[in-house]
Structure 1
Amino acid sequence: MADLTLAAKLDLSHVAELTSSIRANSGQDLAIDASRVTHLGALALQVLVSAARNWGEAGFDLIISPRSDSFDEALTVFGVSLTDVQSGESA
């Protein structure tokens, strides 16, 4: 399983880097550490939702753990559940 630690601020200026980092880990299970996230923007969230769908369709797990309170609060604000940004049995 590959590991990826998210930046603290995931706004428009970090979306390209986030996308590249996630794509670099395709084809394998991926554990994402969101414990440092203080700001989760809509486009970054969209990247995570898309990644979860792609990983699930490919038969791989994508889990986000640990998560900061700010990350979980952003999911709530956007009306997105944790299962929307994860795939596999751990989701």
Structure 2
Amino acid sequence: MNDIITLQARLDGAALKTLSTDLTRACSERSVRIDAGGVTHLGALGLQLLLSASRTLRRDGGTFEFVAISDRASDQLAKMGLTPEAVSGGMI
């Protein structure tokens, strides 16, 4: 899959249904590329969904990567004890 999943500005409960569908489709193709460049709010449930997709892909030999991430989203990840590299690179 060469498509990039562009995350909504607020990655909260309301955005998760669409994101879940997009991630399921991308995971079946064993490649997920995430554009989080416009994210202003990264909720814990959204992060949990991204982590689940990343772990599933790595377990099955696929790839998960961020192609862009906003400073705000990076800061919110840091407050939850993570980095974009930890989410995508399997350091968890």
TM-score range for the pair, normalised by the shorter chain length: 0.7 to 0.9
Give the superposed CA RMSD.
Answer: 1.5
Paired residues for 1:42-57 under 5 Å? 42-57=44-59
**Shift of residue 83, structure 1, vs aligned partner:** 3.3
Answer yes or no: is the 8 Å Cα contact 1:32–1:65 preserved in 2: yes
Q: Per-residue CA shift, 1:27-57, capped at 9, x if unaligned?
A: 2322111001000000000000111100101
Identical residues among aligned pairs (%):
33
More helix by share: 2
Q: Displacement of 1:87 after TM fit?
A: 3.9
Deviating 4+ runs (over 6 angstroms): none
- Mapped partners of 1:72, 1:12: distance in 2: 19
Instruction: Provide the TM-score with structure 1 as the length reference.
Output: 0.87
After superposition, residues 1-91 of structure 1 pair within 5 angstroms as 1-26=2-27, 27-87=29-89
List gaps (5 residues or longer) in structure 1. Answer: none
Quick one: which amino acid aligns to residue 7 of structure 1?
Q
